């Protein structure tokens, strides 16, 4: 349906809230972000409102949600001349779900990311499914304003599942809205038990990081299971035990789990018990930097080491310090590997590209005096798709290395 006043793409747009780009800011349908510096005029647009983006000559570029508060003031949702109404949201949600369902024999997956923001043409919206519960995260004012419409559309696409809102404080503050936290409408269960490739996890709604689990690691968790048989495994930055549970179920002799968060370790302990592997696990509440050094001094060795730290580089200016941190833990981990042992090492920092990560691992290997074969580059799970023209959609990178 065409909104009043707007004609075909590339033609002049006459009415409705308009954001006019500066001359020299031509847009091709590639990247949806518009920064304040590119905007000539958006004075008639309400914060959070739908806006038609036009170039300096008035030609239609796309349509998105506008917010004058953050530097990234508009994210384009469509490059076509269509209204961003409830039907549009439902179409985009249905497409995102259908993409995931087509790779599963049994329809939409019961665990995993169903909607991932820019990568699914819905910038500012994340929807994760934990069995009978959907966890929704709005990261822009535009999406937060349409929460009810999104919930209704999700109901039409997926059937009536309980919806838990879990907005992150950072983006909400940046965008200027009250982060939603709690059930939308009827309350669902306090906890859900989910199955990730045969391994069980308990998720407490509203607790912990992200929407509950690190779903982006689901495929790498399975890789760890396949490498673990009859080995001693080190799961550093274990959170609720994703890698260790998979490794122990995959036949690991024993696993050492390290995290500095007591809350995360308590949940890990519960997950280990749920999978019947607790007696082969040792949980260590410590700073990984210190504990790796201690293990090295103690002469410990492992057949599989996983390093899955939080983002050390939260901004570009912190990059050098972050690289030093990554290098340090990788160097120490490499020294703990048995001959023939495997290292799965990750960085989820947006600001550390794959090539830089590989380079710092190379430096660490040289300093550690360890020769390693690159078995495979690693990435985020395929339900967190990467859009070629939106490099920001690729954030989790890793290496599978084998000690020679």
- Contacting positions for ligand SAH (CB under 6 A): 214, 217, 237-240, 242-243, 258-261, 264, 287-289, 308, 310
Contact (Cβ atoms closer than 8 angstroms) between residue 249 and residue 225: yes
The least CB distance from residue 329 to ligand SAH, in Å, is 9
Structure tokens at 45: 């647009």
Q: Where are the beta strands (DSSP E) in 260-364?
A: 281-285, 302-307, 337-347
Q: What is the three-state SS of 80-112?
A: CCCCCCHHHHHHHHHHHHHHHHCCCCCCCCCEE
Distance CA 116, CA 67 (A): 20
DSSP per residue, 37-91: GGEEE-TT--TT-EEEEE-TT-BEEEEEEE-SSSSEEEEEEESSS---SHHHHHH
CB 401 within 8 A of CB 345: yes
Selection from 387, 394, 381, 348 nearest residue 121 by Cα:
387
| Distance (Å, whole) CA 71 – CA 49 | 16
Nearest CB to ligand SAH, comparing residues 238 and 255: 238
CA distances from 289 to 48, 324, 329 (A): 43, 12, 6
- Closest approach, Cβ 347 to ligand SAH, in A, equals 12
Using CB positions, name the residue nearest to ligand SAH.
242
Phi, psi for residue 87 in degrees, rounded to 5: -65, -40
Query: In 10 A of CB 279, how many CB atoms?
Result: 9
Which string of DSSP letters, residue by residue, matches 255-282? Answer: EEEEES-HHHHHHHHHHHHHTT-GGGEE
Q: Which is nearer to ligand SAH, 226 or 310 (CB)?
A: 310
74 is catalytic: no
Question: How many CB atoms are closer than 10 A to CB 168?
Answer: 17
Kindly tell me which of 215 and 372 has the beta carbon lying closer to ligand SAH. Answer: 215
**At closest approach, how far in Å is the CB of 236 from ligand SAH?**
7
Minimum distance of ligand SAH from residue 46's CB (angstroms): 38
Spot the catalytic one: 73, 74, 238, 348: 348
Nearest to 225 by CA among 243, 250, 242, 251: 250
Q: How far is the CB of 350 from ligand SAH (least distance, A)?
A: 15
Q: 282-313: buried (b, 16+ CB within 10 Å) or exposed (e) per residue?
A: ebbeeebeebbeebeeeeeebbbbbbbbebbb
Nearer to ligand SAH, 78 or 261 (CB): 261
CB 292 to ligand SAH: min, Å: 9
Q: Which is nearer to ligand SAH, 34 or 344 (CB)?
A: 344
**Whose Cβ is closer to ligand SAH: residue 210's or residue 253's?**
210
| Cβ nearer to ligand SAH, comparing 10 with 197 | 197
And the tokens for 266?
A: 């308590």
The minimum distance between CB 384 and ligand SAH, in angstroms, equals: 14
Catalytic residues, by residue number, are 348
């Amino acid at each position: 349906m065409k909104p009043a006043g707007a004609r075909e793409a590339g033609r002049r747009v006459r009415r409705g809230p308009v954001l006019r780009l500066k001359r020299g800011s031509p847009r091709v349908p590639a990247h949806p972000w518009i920064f304040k510096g590119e905007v000539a005029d958006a004075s008639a647009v309400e914060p959070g409102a739908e806006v038609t983006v036009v170039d300096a000559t008035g030609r239609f570029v796309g349509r998105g949600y506008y917010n004058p508060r953050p530097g990234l003031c508009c994210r384009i949702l469509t490059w076509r001349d269509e209204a961003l109404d409830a039907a549009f949201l439902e179409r985009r949600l249905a497409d995102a779900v259908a993409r995931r369902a087509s790779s599963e024999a049994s329809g939409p997956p019961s665990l995993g990311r169903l909607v991932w923001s820019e990568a699914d043409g819905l910038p500012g919206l994340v929807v994760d499914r934990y069995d009978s519960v959907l966890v929704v995260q709005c990261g822009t004012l535009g999406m937060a304003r349409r929460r009810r419409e999104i919930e209704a559309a999700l109901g039409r696409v997926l059937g009536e599942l309980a919806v838990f809102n879990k907005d992150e404080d950072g983006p909400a503050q940046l965008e200027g809205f009250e982060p939603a936290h709690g059930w939308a409408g009827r309350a669902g269960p306090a906890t859900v038990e989910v199955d990730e490739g045969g391994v069980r996890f308990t998720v407490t709604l509203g607790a912990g990081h992200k929407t509950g689990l690190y779903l982006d690691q689901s495929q790498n968790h399975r890789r760890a299971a396949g490498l673990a048989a009859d080995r001693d495994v080190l799961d550093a930055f274990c959170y609720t035990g994703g890698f260790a549970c998979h490794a122990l179920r995959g036949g690991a002799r024993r696993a050492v789990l390290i995290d500095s968060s007591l809350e995360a370790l308590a949940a890990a302990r519960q997950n280990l018990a749920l999978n019947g592997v607790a007696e082969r696990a040792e949980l260590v509440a410590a700073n990984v930097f210190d504990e790796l050094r201690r293990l090295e001094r103690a002469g410990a060795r492992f057949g599989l080491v996983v390093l899955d730290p939080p983002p050390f580089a939260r901004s570009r200016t912190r990059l050098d310090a972050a690289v030093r941190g990554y290098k340090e833990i990788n160097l120490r981990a490499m020294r703990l590997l048995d001959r023939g042992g495997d290292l799965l090492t990750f960085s989820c920092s947006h600001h550390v590209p794959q090539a830089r990560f590989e380079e710092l691992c190379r430096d660490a290997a040289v300093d550690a005096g360890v020769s390693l074969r690159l078995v495979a580059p690693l990435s985020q799970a395929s339900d967190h798709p990467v859009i070629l023209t939106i490099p920001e959609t690729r954030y989790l990178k890793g290496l599978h290395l084998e000690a020679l």
